[in-house]
């Protein structure tokens, strides 16, 4: 992975982590994208690329609609831990 790509991933992951820290119960991808000001595909790509950071679960609403909710595996994640996850993927 190029250094520029790693820096971009860290920057985008930081935005996602900051939003999820404010919402420990989790958010669905579109809402997470809206709040972090990132494209939903960017969120999905980073979730697939760094699965150790995120966990998801199905939330069945009263209307029997299944929403995939995203939350942090470690709600107390630091910037250093985030950087380490990205470096491990290089």
Kindly report, residue by residue over 8-53, the tens digit of the pLDDT: 999 999 999 999 999 998 999 999 999 999 999 999 999 999 999 9
Domains of the chain plus CATH, in order, are 3-89 (1.10.10.10)
Determine which helix (DSSP H) or strand (DSSP E) holds 37, and give its type and residue range: none
pTM of the model: 0.85
Decide: helix, strand or coil at residue 2.
Answer: coil
Tokens of 38: 């990132």
Strands (E), the chain: 27-28, 54-60, 66-72
* Phi, psi (degrees; rounded to nearest 5) at 10: -65, -45
């Amino acid at each position: 992975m190029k250094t520029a790509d790693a820096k971009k991933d860290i920057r985008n992951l930081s935005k996602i982590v900051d939003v999820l820290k404010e919402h420990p119960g989790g958010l669905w991808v579109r809402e997470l994208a809206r709040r972090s000001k990132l494209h939903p595909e960017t969120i999905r790509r980073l979730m697939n690329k760094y699965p150790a950071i995120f966990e998801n679960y199905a939330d069945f609403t009263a209307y029997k609609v299944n929403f995939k909710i995203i939350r942090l595996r470690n709600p107390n994640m630091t910037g250093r831990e985030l950087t380490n996850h990205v470096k491990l993927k290089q």
